[in-house]
Protein backbone atom coordinates (compact mmCIF):
# COMPACT_ATOMS: atom_id res chain seq x y z
CA UNK A 1 0.00 0.00 0.00
CA UNK A 2 2.88 2.37 0.88
CA UNK A 3 4.40 1.74 -2.53
CA UNK A 4 1.09 2.54 -4.24
CA UNK A 5 0.82 5.89 -2.39
CA UNK A 6 4.45 6.69 -3.18
CA UNK A 7 3.80 6.11 -6.87
CA UNK A 8 0.65 8.26 -6.77
CA UNK A 9 2.67 11.01 -5.01
CA UNK A 10 5.37 10.86 -7.65
CA UNK A 11 2.82 10.94 -10.45
CA UNK A 12 1.03 14.04 -9.14
CA UNK A 13 4.19 15.79 -7.93
CA UNK A 14 5.86 15.10 -11.26
CA UNK A 15 3.19 15.94 -13.85
CA UNK A 16 1.08 18.91 -12.68
CA UNK A 17 4.17 20.84 -11.53
CA UNK A 18 6.11 20.82 -14.81
CA UNK A 19 2.97 21.21 -16.95
CA UNK A 20 1.86 24.28 -14.99
CA UNK A 21 5.37 25.79 -14.97
CA UNK A 22 5.55 25.36 -18.74
CA UNK A 23 2.12 26.99 -19.08
CA UNK A 24 3.26 29.98 -16.97
CA UNK A 25 6.37 30.23 -19.14
CA UNK A 26 4.30 30.34 -22.36
CA UNK A 27 1.96 32.96 -20.85
CA UNK A 28 4.96 35.12 -19.86
CA UNK A 29 6.48 34.79 -23.34
CA UNK A 30 3.16 35.61 -24.99
CA UNK A 31 2.91 38.81 -22.94
CA UNK A 32 6.62 39.72 -23.25
CA UNK A 33 7.42 39.51 -26.99
CA UNK A 34 10.86 41.10 -26.52
CA UNK A 35 11.83 38.27 -24.14
CA UNK A 36 10.51 35.68 -26.59
CA UNK A 37 12.54 37.23 -29.46
CA UNK A 38 15.74 37.13 -27.37
CA UNK A 39 15.05 33.57 -26.26
CA UNK A 40 14.44 32.37 -29.81
CA UNK A 41 17.57 34.14 -31.05
CA UNK A 42 19.68 32.32 -28.44
CA UNK A 43 18.07 28.95 -29.11
CA UNK A 44 18.46 29.35 -32.90
CA UNK A 45 22.14 30.18 -32.46
CA UNK A 46 23.04 27.39 -30.03
CA UNK A 47 20.68 24.72 -31.39
CA UNK A 48 20.45 25.35 -35.15
CA UNK A 49 18.16 23.42 -37.48
CA UNK A 50 15.96 21.96 -34.78
CA UNK A 51 18.84 20.30 -32.89
CA UNK A 52 17.65 18.86 -29.57
CA UNK A 53 19.05 20.34 -26.35
CA UNK A 54 21.09 18.24 -23.91
CA UNK A 55 22.43 19.14 -20.47
CA UNK A 56 25.81 19.92 -22.09
CA UNK A 57 24.20 22.84 -23.93
CA UNK A 58 23.10 24.59 -20.72
CA UNK A 59 26.22 26.76 -20.25
CA UNK A 60 25.68 28.12 -23.78
CA UNK A 61 22.03 28.97 -23.05
CA UNK A 62 22.28 31.64 -20.29
CA UNK A 63 19.21 33.59 -21.39
CA UNK A 64 17.16 30.38 -21.56
CA UNK A 65 18.29 29.54 -18.00
CA UNK A 66 17.38 33.08 -16.94
CA UNK A 67 13.88 32.71 -18.44
CA UNK A 68 13.36 29.40 -16.56
CA UNK A 69 14.47 30.89 -13.25
CA UNK A 70 12.40 34.01 -13.68
CA UNK A 71 9.36 31.84 -14.51
CA UNK A 72 9.95 29.68 -11.43
CA UNK A 73 10.47 32.78 -9.25
CA UNK A 74 7.48 34.77 -10.43
CA UNK A 75 5.00 31.91 -10.65
CA UNK A 76 6.07 30.33 -7.31
CA UNK A 77 4.08 27.24 -8.15
CA UNK A 78 3.93 25.92 -4.58
CA UNK A 79 3.45 29.30 -2.83
CA UNK A 80 3.71 27.83 0.68
CA UNK A 81 5.67 24.69 -0.21
CA UNK A 82 4.67 21.45 1.50
CA UNK A 83 3.82 21.06 5.17
CA UNK A 84 6.47 19.87 7.61
CA UNK A 85 6.24 18.91 11.28
CA UNK A 86 8.91 19.79 13.86
CA UNK A 87 10.24 16.52 15.31
CA UNK A 88 11.53 18.25 18.47
CA UNK A 89 11.52 21.61 20.21
CA UNK A 90 13.82 23.95 18.36
CA UNK A 91 14.64 27.62 17.75
CA UNK A 92 15.09 29.15 14.31
CA UNK A 93 16.17 32.77 13.86
CA UNK A 94 15.16 33.49 17.47
CA UNK A 95 11.70 31.96 17.09
CA UNK A 96 10.80 29.04 19.36
CA UNK A 97 9.18 26.17 17.44
CA UNK A 98 7.62 23.48 19.65
CA UNK A 99 7.69 19.79 18.78
CA UNK A 100 4.68 18.90 16.64
CA UNK A 101 4.26 22.40 15.14
CA UNK A 102 3.20 22.34 11.49
CA UNK A 103 5.36 24.58 9.31
CA UNK A 104 5.10 25.93 5.79
CA UNK A 105 7.61 27.92 3.78
CA UNK A 106 6.64 31.39 2.53
CA UNK A 107 7.93 30.74 -0.99
CA UNK A 108 5.70 33.20 -2.87
CA UNK A 109 6.37 35.96 -0.32
CA UNK A 110 10.14 35.39 -0.46
CA UNK A 111 10.04 35.39 -4.28
CA UNK A 112 8.39 38.82 -4.13
CA UNK A 113 10.41 40.30 -1.27
CA UNK A 114 12.09 43.58 -2.26
CA UNK A 115 15.05 42.71 -0.02
CA UNK A 116 16.02 40.14 -2.63
CA UNK A 117 14.37 41.37 -5.84
CA UNK A 118 14.01 44.77 -7.49
CA UNK A 119 10.53 45.28 -9.01
CA UNK A 120 9.50 41.73 -7.99
CA UNK A 121 6.16 41.88 -9.80
CA UNK A 122 7.87 42.34 -13.16
CA UNK A 123 8.97 39.46 -15.38
CA UNK A 124 12.64 40.33 -15.92
CA UNK A 125 14.91 37.42 -16.97
CA UNK A 126 17.81 39.91 -17.16
CA UNK A 127 17.95 39.98 -13.34
CA UNK A 128 19.58 36.52 -13.55
CA UNK A 129 22.42 37.68 -15.83
CA UNK A 130 25.64 39.48 -14.93
CA UNK A 131 27.21 42.32 -16.93
CA UNK A 132 28.81 39.82 -19.31
CA UNK A 133 25.46 38.16 -20.00
CA UNK A 134 26.38 35.05 -17.98
CA UNK A 135 23.73 33.28 -15.91
CA UNK A 136 24.16 33.80 -12.16
CA UNK A 137 22.38 31.55 -9.68
CA UNK A 138 20.87 33.54 -6.84
CA UNK A 139 20.43 31.10 -4.00
CA UNK A 140 19.10 33.58 -1.46
CA UNK A 141 15.52 34.59 -2.11
CA UNK A 142 14.90 31.71 -4.52
CA UNK A 143 13.14 28.64 -3.15
CA UNK A 144 11.15 27.27 -6.09
CA UNK A 145 12.17 23.70 -5.21
CA UNK A 146 12.24 24.14 -1.43
CA UNK A 147 15.34 23.66 0.66
CA UNK A 148 17.03 21.09 2.90
CA UNK A 149 16.56 17.36 3.30
CA UNK A 150 13.00 17.42 1.98
CA UNK A 151 13.56 19.64 -1.01
CA UNK A 152 12.01 18.62 -4.32
CA UNK A 153 12.99 15.12 -5.35
CA UNK A 154 12.29 15.82 -8.99
CA UNK A 155 14.24 19.08 -9.43
CA UNK A 156 16.77 17.67 -11.95
CA UNK A 157 14.04 15.95 -13.95
CA UNK A 158 11.90 19.12 -13.94
CA UNK A 159 14.85 21.24 -15.12
CA UNK A 160 15.61 18.74 -17.90
CA UNK A 161 11.96 18.66 -18.99
CA UNK A 162 11.78 22.46 -19.06
CA UNK A 163 14.94 22.62 -21.18
CA UNK A 164 13.84 20.03 -23.75
CA UNK A 165 10.20 21.16 -24.05
CA UNK A 166 10.91 24.90 -24.15
CA UNK A 167 13.73 24.74 -26.70
CA UNK A 168 11.80 22.30 -28.92
CA UNK A 169 8.64 24.44 -28.80
CA UNK A 170 10.42 27.75 -29.37
CA UNK A 171 12.41 26.37 -32.31
CA UNK A 172 9.17 25.77 -34.14
CA UNK A 173 6.47 28.01 -32.64
CA UNK A 174 5.82 31.54 -31.36
CA UNK A 175 3.27 32.51 -28.72
CA UNK A 176 1.16 35.66 -28.38
CA UNK A 177 -2.04 36.97 -26.81
CA UNK A 178 -5.05 36.47 -29.08
CA UNK A 179 -5.82 39.66 -31.04
CA UNK A 180 -7.62 42.29 -28.98
CA UNK A 181 -7.23 40.27 -25.77
CA UNK A 182 -4.90 40.54 -22.79
CA UNK A 183 -3.81 37.35 -21.07
CA UNK A 184 -4.76 37.16 -17.41
CA UNK A 185 -1.58 36.42 -15.46
CA UNK A 186 -3.32 36.02 -12.10
CA UNK A 187 -3.41 32.58 -10.55
CA UNK A 188 -6.48 30.37 -10.42
CA UNK A 189 -7.74 31.13 -6.91
CA UNK A 190 -9.65 27.85 -6.62
CA UNK A 191 -6.56 26.11 -5.28
CA UNK A 192 -4.62 28.34 -2.85
CA UNK A 193 -1.95 25.67 -2.26
CA UNK A 194 -0.83 25.49 -5.89
CA UNK A 195 -0.28 28.64 -7.93
CA UNK A 196 -1.98 27.38 -11.10
CA UNK A 197 -2.27 29.44 -14.28
CA UNK A 198 -5.80 30.23 -15.50
CA UNK A 199 -6.98 28.19 -18.48
CA UNK A 200 -7.28 30.61 -21.42
CA UNK A 201 -6.67 30.87 -25.16
CA UNK A 202 -3.23 31.72 -26.45
CA UNK A 203 -2.26 32.42 -30.08
CA UNK A 204 0.25 29.89 -31.43
CA UNK A 205 1.92 30.49 -34.81
CA UNK A 206 4.36 28.33 -36.76
CA UNK A 207 7.69 30.10 -37.28
CA UNK A 208 8.68 30.81 -40.87
The size of the interface with ligand HEM (CB under 6 A), counted in residues, is 23
Does 164 engage in binding with ligand HEM (CB under 6 A)?
Answer: no
157 binding ligand HEM? (CB under 6 A): yes
Stretch that binds ligand HEM, among 31-39, 126-134, 140-148, 178-186 (CB under 6 A): 140-148
Of 73, 31, 43, nearest in space to 169 by CA? 43
Q: Which stretch binds ligand HEM (CB under 6 A): 71-79, 108-116, 167-175, 182-190?
A: 71-79
Position among 61, 77, 124, 163 found at the interface with ligand HEM (CB under 6 A):
77
Q: Which of 7, 10, 101, 173 binds ligand HEM (CB under 6 A)?
A: 10
Interface with ligand HEM includes 17 (CB under 6 A)? yes
Which residues contact ligand HEM by CB under 6 A?
A: 9-10, 13-14, 17-18, 21, 72, 77-78, 81-82, 144-147, 150-154, 157-158
Amino acid sequence: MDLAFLLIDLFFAGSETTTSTLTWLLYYLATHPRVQDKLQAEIDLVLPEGQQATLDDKPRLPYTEAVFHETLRKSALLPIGLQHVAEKDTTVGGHFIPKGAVLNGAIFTIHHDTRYWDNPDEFLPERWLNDEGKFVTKKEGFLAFGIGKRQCLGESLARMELLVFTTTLLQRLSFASPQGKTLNLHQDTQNPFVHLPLVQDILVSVRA
